[in-house]
Amino acid sequence: MRIAEFLSPQAVIADMQSRTKPEVLRELSATLVRAHPLLQEDRLVEVLREREKLGSTGIGEGVAIPHGKLPGMTQLQAAFGVSRAGVDFEAIDGKATHLFFALVAPENSAGVHLKALARISRLFKNPRFRASILEAPTTADIHALIIQEDARP
């Protein structure tokens, strides 16, 4: 599985405006809906909020992977956003979060969902890659960097 299969260029935000955790979830959900009009924004926000209640998806080093499962979806979808200012996302390391990778999977897709989470987590462990994303000026540049890094063996 490659990230290109579930992250479209239209679902990337180069400069998020959100300043709080709920705003981040709303902005990522709105972006997913713009890229995939059959999705419902309020339902997406609720699914992501419910998962956050179990514990923050802020994995540290400036990265968060909010995720959830949504009935009626046929395939995994994602949105990615960069917050230049950083947001308090209650990350495990207590640091501000700048890189947000939201995943929404079909309700009965544990394997795909977990593989995608593991792949994204592995990708964003690389400090040089995180820095290059933060320096990328446009959504097209950000998307290309993610796809290029994910294609490496």
CATH of the domain at 44: 3.40.930.10
Check residue 15 and give its pLDDT.
Answer: 97
What residues are labeled active site? 67
pLDDT digits (tens, 9 = 90+) for 67-84: 999 988 889 999 999 999
Check residue 110 and give its pLDDT.
Answer: 75
| Average pLDDT for 141-148 | 98
Average pLDDT, rounded, for the chain: 94
| Average pLDDT for 87-94 | 97
Task: Please calculate the CA angle 110-26-92 and round it to the nearest 5 degrees.
Answer: 65
Give the lowest-confidence range in 10-19, 40-49, 69-78: 69-78
pTM, entire model: 0.95
105 near 69, Cβ under 8 Å? yes
Strand partners, 67: 103
Rg (CA), the chain: 14
**Number of folded domains that form the chain:** 1
| Average pLDDT for 132-139 | 97
For residue 78, the enclosing domain spans 3-151
The HSE-up count of residue 135 (CA atoms within 13 Å, CB side) is 7
pLDDT digits (tens, 9 = 90+) for 92-113: 999 999 999 999 999 888 788 8
